[in-house]
């Protein structure tokens, strides 16, 4: 059974009653609908006067919990004292809800008074094999609300939390813990979960994987999420560094689109990728409409979608970084890495892609970024020379796309009109380095493009500006590729300036 208004609950994990009171006010000021007083975190059990004092000042609804160690909590004392404390807290109220673990016999439950009873179960090791039966038993219990939290062993399993919320006959809070379960916390509102937890700050979480209140309400647009929200995300491993959530959520905010973009940690391996995709597509009500794909899953995405449903150049590059999912579950794969780079270049040169034909381009590097750019340049018939530290890699890439290959230190001898750096040289912290140094830029050069965006102003770009050349930045490329994703998914023009500003803020 779903709840019309999902509560954003802030767990209070302070060690003293006084600190808990301070945090309670701060949590409410940051937009928590409910605070969970985690009495098991307190160094000393409070007396009635302290409880009355604390609860009388609560600016938001209060959930009382004293989690025993057997359920992943901090309370190691006697069960009798623990249940006695819960009963006292309810009496000293006002208390909106009290949490009772499912393994407590109903005859031992404290008298709830005006409070609603949350019947809970926690599994910090795995997703219970009998999850459905467990929640069915909660439905049949004397409790008012069901709560189940588990640690998924893979990202696909995390989605089971939504299944039980949808199937239960009572208001239910179901969530998957840890980074793979973040989706279940952030989309709780979409599925009418009874609540979801967000901590006051990153060190105050009561269970792994909780976003902070500021992240939930800011970065992830908690308040804008509802039943019809379209879901987007970035798939990769690791994923916590990704700028995707900031840039795409800012874009959705700016255009007023009912959409959310989440980080989706999918462990390495094609089997993990496929398992998640199968699980997500088997749940059309999830509303998954698009995915950015990053390391190590770009090749897996191409294999999963199949060449026939992927952009021709994405197939040649061998990597899909953008998946678009239609309302009927049809998949399409694209590579906006190449599109972002080529369009950034053409925009600055004020030419069409077709006008790249015949121009001499030297690409420095032979890794993933170089591969996408070389494939696109060759496709548009530019004359490409690949220069790389490891010459054999340059030769292999050049052979594949019909280009020339040279060692990196011969880059200046290639007489290019356009130089594109796709190596990591000049990237923070090595900001004093340039891939063309100490040699001056070749006199033939008219355009310098550095794909490195951290720092924004690389030494190579400075060298180009000092010579009065046209410069293209890694930021131009990055914003363009994200904008191309937005356009693929929505069919609308992206709010490029908002996206650029968001990346700049993140980088600065
Ligand atoms: P990658 O696959 O690991 O390739 C790294 C490349 O850099 C290889 O060619 C490598 O040469 C070369 N390299 C690394 N350190 C070097 C050094 N000290 N001296 C000489 N060559 C060196 O990485 P990638 O994914 O292609 O990324 C490369 C760069 O592109 C990164 O700096 C990244 O910031 C940038 N990038 C930008 C965007 C954007 O949107 N703006 C997107 C993707 C990537 P060897 O083959 O000899 O090892």
CATH of 7-210 given 3.20.20.70, 3.40.50.300, 3.30.70.890, 3.20.20.150: 3.20.20.70
Q: Write out the DSSP string of 295-310.
A: TT-HHHHHHHH-GGGB
Alpha helices (H) in 57-127, listed in sequence order: 79-91
456 CA to middle of ligand 1, Å? 16
CA-nearest residue, atom 37 of ligand 1: 451
CA-nearest residue, atom 2 of ligand 1: 367
Side by side, the strands of the sheet bearing 34-38 are 172-176, 145-150, 116-123, 97-101, 61-65, 34-38, 7-12, 195-197
Task: List every span in the chain annotated with CATH 3.20.20.70.
Answer: 7-210
SS3 506: helix
Task: List every span in the chain annotated with CATH 3.40.50.10860.
Answer: 244-334+479-507
CB count within 10 Å of CB 392 equals: 10
Q: Residue 3's pLDDT is what?
A: 59
Q: What is the set of active-site residues?
A: 122, 147, 298, 337
Q: What are 62's strand-pairing partners?
A: 35
From 422, 425, 427, mutation site for ligand 1 pocket: most ligand atoms within 8 A of C-beta: 422
Q: Could you report how far apart the first and last alpha carbons of the chain are, in Å? A: 45
Q: Digits of tens for pLDDT over the chain (508 positions)?
A: 555 689 999 999 999 999 999 999 999 999 999 999 999 999 999 999 999 999 998 999 999 999 999 999 999 999 999 999 999 999 998 999 999 999 999 999 998 888 999 999 999 999 999 999 999 999 999 999 999 999 999 999 999 999 999 999 999 999 999 999 999 999 999 999 999 999 999 999 999 999 999 999 999 999 999 999 999 999 999 998 899 999 999 999 999 999 999 999 999 999 999 999 999 999 999 999 999 999 999 999 999 999 999 999 999 999 999 999 999 999 999 999 999 999 999 999 999 999 999 999 999 999 999 999 999 999 999 999 999 999 999 999 999 999 999 999 999 888 999 999 999 999 999 999 999 987 789 999 999 999 999 899 999 999 999 999 999 999 999 999 999 999 999 999 999 999 999 999 988 8
User: In terms of Cα–Cα distance, which of 477, 472, 479 is closest to 497?
Assistant: 479
Taking each helix axis from N to C terminus, what angle separates 48-56 and 79-91, rounded to the nearest 10 degrees?
Answer: 50
Which ligand 1 atom lies nearest to the CA of residue 340?
40
How far is residue 39's CA from residue 297's CA, in Å, rounded to a whole number? 43
Pocket residues: Cβ below 6 A from ligand 1: 337, 365-370, 388-390, 393, 408, 422-425, 427, 451-453, 474, 477-478, 481
CB count within 10 Å of CB 325 equals: 23
User: In terms of Cα–Cα distance, which of 105, 101, 36, 38 is closest to 70?
Assistant: 101
Q: Write out the DSSP string of 345-403.
A: HHHHHT--GGGGTT-EEEEE--SHHHHHHHHHHHHTT-EEEEEESSHHHHHHHHHHHT-
Helix/strand/coil percentages in the chain, nearest 5: 45, 20, 35
CA-nearest residue, atom 32 of ligand 1: 424
DSSP state of 434: -
How far is residue 117's CA from residue 134's CA, in Å, rounded to a whole number? 17
Task: List every span in the chain annotated with CATH 3.40.50.720.
Answer: 340-472
368 CA to middle of ligand 1, Å? 7
Burial 137-167 (b: 16+ CB within 10 A, else e): ebbebebbbbbbbbbbebbbbbbbbbebbbe
How far is residue 7's CA from residue 173's CA, in Å, rounded to a whole number? 10
Contact assessment for residue 349 and residue 417, using Cβ atoms and an 8 Å cutoff = no
CA-nearest residue, atom 41 of ligand 1: 474
Contact assessment for residue 406 and residue 385, using Cβ atoms and an 8 Å cutoff = yes
User: In terms of Cα–Cα distance, which of 157, 165, 163, 159 is closest to 139?
Assistant: 165
CATH class of the domain at 340-472: alpha beta
- Tell me the pTM: 0.93
407 CA to middle of ligand 1, Å? 15
CB count within 10 Å of CB 7 equals: 24
Q: Fold for domain 244-334+479-507?
A: Rossmann fold (3.40.50)
For 180, the token pair is 């793979």
User: In terms of Cα–Cα distance, which of 118, 113, 146 is closest to 37?
Assistant: 118
Q: Residue 437's pLDDT is what?
A: 84
């Amino acid at each position: 059974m779903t709840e019309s208004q999902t509560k954003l609950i802030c767990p209070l994990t302070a060690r003293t009653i006084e600190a808990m009171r301070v945090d309670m006010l701060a949590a409410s000021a940051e937009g928590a609908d409910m605070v969970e007083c985690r009495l098991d975190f307190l160094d000393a059990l409070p007396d009635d006067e302290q409880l009355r004092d604390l609860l009388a000042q609560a600016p938001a609804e209060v959930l009382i919990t004293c989690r025993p160690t057997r359920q992943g909590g901090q309370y190691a004392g006697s069960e009798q004292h623990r249940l006695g404390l819960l009963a006292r807290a309810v009496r000293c109220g006002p208390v909106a809800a009290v949490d009772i673990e499912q393994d407590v016999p109903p005859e031992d439950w404290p008298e709830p008074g005006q409070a609603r009873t949350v019947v809970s179960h926690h599994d910090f090791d795995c997703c219970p094999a009998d999850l459905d039966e467990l929640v069915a038993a909660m439905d049949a219990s004397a409790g008012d609300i069901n709560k189940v939290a588990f640690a998924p062993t893979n990202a696909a399993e995390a989605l089971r939390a939504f299944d039980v919320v949808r199937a239960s006959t009572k208001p239910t809070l179901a969530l998957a813990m840890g980074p793979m379960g973040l989706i279940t916390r952030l989309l709780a509102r979409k599925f009418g979960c009874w609540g979801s937890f967000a901590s006051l700050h990153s060190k105050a979480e009561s269970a792994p994987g909780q976003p902070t209140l500021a992240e939930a309400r800011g970065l992830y647009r908690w308040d804008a999420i509802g039943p019809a929200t379209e879901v987007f995300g970035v798939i990769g491993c690791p994923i916590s560094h990704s700028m995707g959530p900031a840039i795409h959520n800012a874009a959705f905010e700016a255009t007023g689109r009912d959409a959310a973009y989440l980080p989706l940690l999918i462990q390495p391996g094609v089997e993990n990728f496929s398992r998640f995709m199968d699980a997500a597509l088997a749940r059309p009500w999830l509303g998954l409409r698009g995915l950015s794909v990053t390391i190590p899953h770009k090749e897996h995405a191409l294999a999963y979608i199949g060449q026939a449903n992927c952009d021709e150049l994405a197939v040649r590059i061998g990597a899909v970084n953008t998946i678009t999912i239609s309302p009927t579950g049809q998949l399409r794969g694209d590579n906006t890495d190449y599109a972002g780079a080529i369009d950034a270049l053409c925009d600055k040169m004020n030419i069409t892609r077709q006008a790249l034909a015949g121009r001499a381009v030297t690409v420095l590097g032979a890794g993933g970024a170089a591969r996408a750019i070389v494939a696109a340049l060759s496709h548009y018939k530019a004359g490409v020379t690949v220069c790389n530290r490891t010459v054999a890699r340059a030769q292999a890439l050049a052979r594949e796309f019909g280009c020339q290959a040279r060692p990196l230190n011969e880059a200046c001898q290639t007489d290019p009109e356009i130089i594109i750096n796709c190596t990591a040289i000049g990237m923070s912290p090595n900001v004093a380095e340039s891939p063309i140094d100490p040699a001056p830029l070749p006199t033939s050069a008219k355009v310098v493009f550095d794909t490195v965006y951290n720092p924004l102003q690389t030494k190579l770009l400075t060298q180009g500006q000092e010579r009065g050349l046209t410069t293209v930045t890694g930021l131009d490329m990055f914003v363009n590729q994200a904008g191309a994703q937005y356009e693929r998914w929505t069919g609308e023009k992206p709010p490029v300036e908002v996206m650029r500003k968001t990346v700049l803020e993140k980088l600065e």
